[in-house]
């Protein structure tokens, strides 16, 4: 039996032609997905926004968005297709956003996450995010509270050393093995209502 070649992961900027695949992941990940025109508008008109996708052998399996407002980078949306979770794709995407924020001279990165989304919270904590506040009844689908999480300053030597250690470990990790049937385990996927005009960005 011929061994299957390892799957290749590529993180790159989201394009307009990616939006059909992004929308499928959006609908699979959220009970209140953003409307189809939200991402198109963000890509075409929002100069503060950066959107990335993760491709596995050319297929989009995860995506996220970030706004840079003055010196703060704010992750606005983040999702991994249910069939591709637990293969460190969300981790690769998060690392790409941290690199992008630093390249663009952001001082720190912040986000909101559902209190119940333990999988996402553990991932963010692993990369140096810490709880700094709470937004009561933040999510419109079930009025769940949002935990506000923020990194230390991105130029903090302690955080930089942590990120580099995690980068090496991620580079050494096995590649994704392929899609599987989703289950009821905690997910990587959070955002709020469709994005408002900047600078009033709340995740």
pLDDT of residue 28: 92
pLDDT of residue 5: 67
pLDDT of residue 178: 79
Other C-beta atoms closer than 10 Å to the C-beta of 10 total 12
User: How does strand 130-135 pair with strand 9-13?
Assistant: unpaired
In the chain, where the domains are located: 9-190
Region at 20 (left for phi over 0; alpha for psi -120 to 50; beta for the rest) = alpha
- Cα distances (Å, whole numbers) of residue 200 to 14, 76, 171, 195: 22, 12, 36, 9
109 DSSP β-pair partners:
73
Per-residue pLDDT of the chain (203 residues; tens, 9 = 90+): 445 667 889 999 999 999 999 999 999 998 888 887 999 999 999 999 999 999 998 899 999 999 999 899 999 999 999 999 999 999 999 999 999 999 999 999 999 999 999 989 999 999 999 999 999 998 888 889 999 999 999 999 999 999 999 999 999 998 888 787 554 443 455 554 444 433 333 33
What's the chain look like in SS3? CCCCCCCCEEEEECCHHHHHHHHHHHHHHCCCCCCHHHHHHHHHHCCCEEEEEEEECCEEEEEEEEEEECCEEEEEEEEECHHHCCCCHHHHHHHHHHHHHHHCCCCEEEEEEECCCHHHHHHHHHCCCEEEEEECCCCCCCCCCEEEEECCCCCCHHHHHHHHHHHHHHHHCCCCCCCCCCCCCCCCEECCCCCCCCCCCCC
Distance CA 195, CA 203 (A): 8
**Would you give the end-to-end CA distance of the chain in angstroms?**
48
Q: Which of 124, 127, 138, 139 is catalytic?
A: 124
User: What is the third-level CATH fold of 9-190?
Assistant: Aminopeptidase (3.40.630)
> Is 139 annotated in the active site?
no
> Is 124 annotated in the active site?
yes
- Can you tell me which residue has the tokens 């209502």? 193
Q: Which of 112, 127, 138, 139 is catalytic?
A: 112
Triad 139, 119, 52: Cα angle to 5°: 75
pLDDT of residue 203: 33
pLDDT of residue 197: 37
Burial (Cβ within 10 Å: 0-12, 13-18, ≥19) of residue 83: middle
Residue 110, phi then psi, degrees to nearest 5: -135, 160
pLDDT of residue 185: 42
């Amino acid at each position: 039996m011929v061994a299957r070649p390892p799957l290749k992961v590529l993180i790159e900027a989201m394009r307009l032609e990616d939006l059909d695949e992004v929308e499928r992941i959006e609908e699979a990940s959220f009970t209140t997905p953003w409307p189809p025109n939200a991402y198109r508008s963000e890509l075409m008109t929002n100069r503060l926004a950066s959107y990335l996708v993760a491709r596995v052998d050319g297929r989009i399996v995860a995506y996220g968005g970030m706004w840079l407002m003055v010196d703060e980078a704010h992750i606005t949306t983040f999702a991994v297709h249910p069939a591709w979770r637990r293969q460190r794709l969300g981790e690769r995407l998060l690392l790409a956003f941290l690199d992008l924020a630093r390249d663009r001279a952001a001082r720190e990165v912040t986000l909101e996450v559902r209190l119940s989304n333990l999988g996402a919270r553990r991932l963010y904590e692993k990369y140096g995010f810490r709880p700094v506040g709470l937004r009561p009844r933040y999510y419109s689908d079930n009025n769940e509270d949002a935990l506000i999480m923020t990194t230390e300053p991105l130029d903090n030597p302690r955080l930089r050393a942590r990120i580099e250690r995690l980068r090496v470990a991620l580079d050494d990790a096995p590649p994704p093995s392929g899609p599987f049937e989703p289950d009821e385990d905690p997910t990587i996927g959070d955002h709020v209502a469709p994005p408002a005009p900047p600078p009033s960005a709340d995740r």
